[in-house]
């Protein structure tokens, strides 16, 4: 059985006219799949390859280069919480915030909380350094997340 719904396949195909090569739709396709399934299962790689006239190995090669995409053994929780550890954030306590969040959720970076709500990752500079220390909730930055705000943030994400 196909893991990609017809609707998702249509969405992927709608990107084809944008590019002169089908392979260029690889990243958009991986994004669409991971947004919906919270990971990119092996079977989805095969189906993307079919849609784009590629071999599954080519899709997998691209996918595995970007640590961003997850295989079916490591699906994302509801919120991907990236905690910035680069210089501007480190100078204002970012590393402590990352440590505190991991401690509170009892996970190491990359792991997902037991209730499946939050996947914690470290990030390199997320480009919101004026609000250091900062985190990313999926793809949107939240600024000035100092140690004292960690509890409120986690409660919010557990809702």
Partner 1 sequence: MAEFEPVLLRRIGKPNSAALETYRADGGYRALEKALNSMQPVDVVNTVKNSGLRGRGGAGFPTGLKWTFLPKDHPGPIYLCVNADESEPCTFNNRVLMEQDPHQVLEGIILSSYAIRARTAYLYIRYEYGPATRAMQKAIDEAYASNLLGQNILGKDFHLDVFIHRGAGAYICGEETGLIESLEGKRAWPRIKPPFPAVEGAFRKPTIVNNIETMACVTHILDRGLEWFRSLGVPPDPNNPRDAGSFGPKLYNLSGHVNRPGTYEAPMGITVRELIDKYGGGVWQGRKAKGAIPGGISMGVITEAEFDMPLDFNGPGKVGCLGLGTGAVTVFDETTSIVDVLANICRFFAHESCGQCTPCREGTGWMDKIADRIKHGQGRREDLDILAEVGNRIGIMPGTTICGLADGAGWPVKLAVKKFRAEFEAFIRDGKKSTVKSLALVH
| Bridge partners, 122 (sequence order) | 83
Distances (CA, A) of 97 to 9, 71, 77, 149, 155: 40, 27, 20, 9, 15
| Bridge partner list, 121 | 82
Give the binding-site size for ligand FES (rule: CB under 6 A): 12
Site for ligand FES in 12-71 (CB under 6 A): none
Q: Which does 23 bind (CB under 5 to 8 A by kind): partner 1, ligand FES, none?
A: partner 1
Strands 140-142 and 135-137: antiparallel
Contact status: 98 vs ligand FES (CB under 6 A): no
Alpha-carbon distance of 106 to 48, in angstroms, equals 35
From candidates 8, 81, 105, 128, binder to ligand FES by CB under 6 A: 128
Q: How far is the CB of 95 from partner 1 (least distance, A)?
A: 4
8-47 footprint of partner 1 as x/- string (CB under 8 A): ----------xxxx-xxxxxx-xx----------------
Q: How many CB atoms lie within 10 A of CB 150?
A: 19
Closest among 66, 62, 60 to 24, alpha carbons compared: 62
Residues near ligand FES, by CB under 6 A: 84, 86-89, 125-129, 132, 134
Residues near partner 1, by CB under 8 A: 18-21, 23-28, 30-31, 52, 61-62, 65-69, 82, 85-88, 90-92, 95-96, 98-100, 102-103, 108-109, 122-132, 136, 138-141
């Amino acid at each position: 059985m196909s893991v990609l719904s017809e609707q998702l396949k249509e969405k992927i195909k709608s990107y084809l006219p944008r590019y002169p090569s089908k392979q260029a739709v690889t990243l958009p396709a991986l994004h669409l799949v991971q947004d919906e399934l919270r990971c990119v299962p092996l079977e989805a790689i095969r189906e993307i390859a079919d849609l784009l006239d590629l071999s599954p190995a080519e899709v997998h090669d691209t996918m595995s280069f970007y640590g961003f995409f997850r295989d079916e053994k490591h699906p994302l929780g509801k919120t991907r919480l990236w905690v910035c550890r680069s210089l501007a954030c480190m100078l204002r306590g970012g590393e402590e915030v990352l440590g505190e969040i991991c401690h509170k959720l009892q996970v190491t970076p990359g792991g997902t909380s037991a209730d499946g709500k939050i996947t914690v990752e470290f990030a390199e500079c997320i480009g919101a350094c004026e609000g250091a220390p900062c985190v990313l909730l999926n793809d949107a930055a939240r600024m000035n997340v100092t140690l004292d705000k960690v509890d409120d943030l986690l409660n919010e994400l557990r809702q």
